[in-house]
Amino acid sequence: MQAAQDAVPAAAGPEPDPADPSDAGRGASAEAIRHHYDVGNAFYRLWLDPTGSYSCALWETGEDALEQAQVRKLEHHIRESGAPGAARVLDIGCGWGGLLQRLVQQHGVGCAVGLTLSEAQAAFVTAQHLPGVEVRLENWLDHRPEAPYGAIVSIGAFEHFARHGLSRQQKVETYRRFFRHCHDWLEPGGGMSLQSIVYGWAGSKEFCSFFDEEIFPESDLPRLGEIFDSLDGLFEVVRLRNDREHYERTLSQWRQRLRARRAEAVALVGEATVVRYEKYFQLCMIGFHVGSMGLARLSLRRLEPQPRPGRA
């Protein structure tokens, strides 16, 4: 759907004002993010794996355990961004800090900075007292790094950067502003690894209101065409993977693990919240299975301005 439209580059438009808090281009509000992620750290710990990864795993064999596949996903993004040995690495949408911890403890990163809008997540990471890890409760639009980064990773945050109701051009402008910031924050030649759910053959009109009202308020998925248009002139796409089957399997694992500890979950957050997550898992599994949604993993490299040849 909309393949012809997505093949046409968006026309240049006015840059949204990042200082205007009412600007829909700021993406989901902090309150909307907390609606989902601040249900409670204890609840998520019941059914997530020990890495605390709340995004699609990277599977290889039928015998993979969830933790093994999640570690492989983290390693994929660390490798693809070029983070090992970097002095500074940024994780946009750092969750409960699994990637940050791995960067400083196993990959020789001097300083790993994580951004989140979830107070519960920020408190959890801070409580770990990890040397070299810094977590900030702030929107990427408000981030002002003290020094350039050698690599940037963003896993499962891009889905929250545009709100429902924006035109295609407005979404591209919003995403381009994000990539422009990342370009400015990176050292010359720096890499970036991005993971995001994307629309497949469906669009926002084909999705039930349950997602917007109950799960991820104020958030709209990107299309791959919108992402590619927003990268133009800023980043080179080195690799692209569509791993939608991987997300179906990840969701199946989460559903099984939640069912196994359902009584504990109900005691923590109540029956209605558990039912909401069970419905969320089931609907998303169907979406990834039939291809109405995809799971994009993009490996990007910062493009450097090239001098224009002079006239003879």
> Please, are residues 231 and 158 in contact by the beta-carbon 8 Å criterion?
no
Neighbours of 303 (CB within 10 A): 14
> Please, are residues 89 and 111 in contact by the beta-carbon 8 Å criterion?
yes
The domain locations on the chain are 25-53+61-299
How far is Cα 136 from Cα 277, in angstroms, rounded to an integer?
27
Nearest CA among 129, 131, 161, 134 for reference residue 147:
134
Please report the DSSP string for the chain in residue order: --HHHHTSPPPP-PPP-TT-TT-GGG-S-HHHHHHHHTT-HHHHHHHS-TT---S-----STT--HHHHHHHHHHHHHHHHT-TT-SEEEEES-TTSHHHHHHHHHS--SEEEEEES-HHHHHHHHHT--TTEEEEES-GGG---SS-EEEEEEES-GGGSS-TT--HHHHHHHHHHHHHHHHHHEEEEEEEEEEEEEE-S--GGGS-HHIIIIISTT--PPPHHHHHHHHTTTEEEEEEEE-HHHHHHHHHHHHHHHHHTHHHHHHHH-HHHHHHHHHHHHHHHHHHHHTSEEEEEEEEEEPPP-PPPPP-
From the candidate CATH numbers 3.40.50.150, 3.90.1150.10, 3.30.1370.60, 1.20.120.530, the one assigned to the domain spanning 25-53+61-299: 3.40.50.150
Digitized pLDDT (tens) for each residue of the chain, 312 residues in all: 222 222 222 223 333 443 343 454 555 454 544 444 557 889 999 999 999 999 999 999 888 899 999 999 999 999 999 999 999 999 999 999 999 999 999 999 999 999 998 888 999 999 999 999 999 999 999 999 999 999 999 999 999 998 888 899 999 999 999 999 999 999 999 999 999 999 998 876 665 565 565 555 567 899 999 999 999 999 999 999 999 999 999 999 999 999 999 999 999 999 999 999 999 999 999 999 999 999 999 999 999 987 766 654
Neighbours of 22 (CB within 10 A): 6
pTM of the model: 0.86
End-to-end Cα spacing for the chain: 48
Neighbour order of strands in the sheet with 149-155: 133-137, 111-116, 88-92, 149-155, 186-199, 293-302, 235-242
pLDDT at res. 25: 54
> Please, are residues 121 and 114 in contact by the beta-carbon 8 Å criterion?
no
CA distances to 155, 190, 224, 293, 296 from 200, in Å: 18, 29, 9, 4, 10
Active site residues: 284
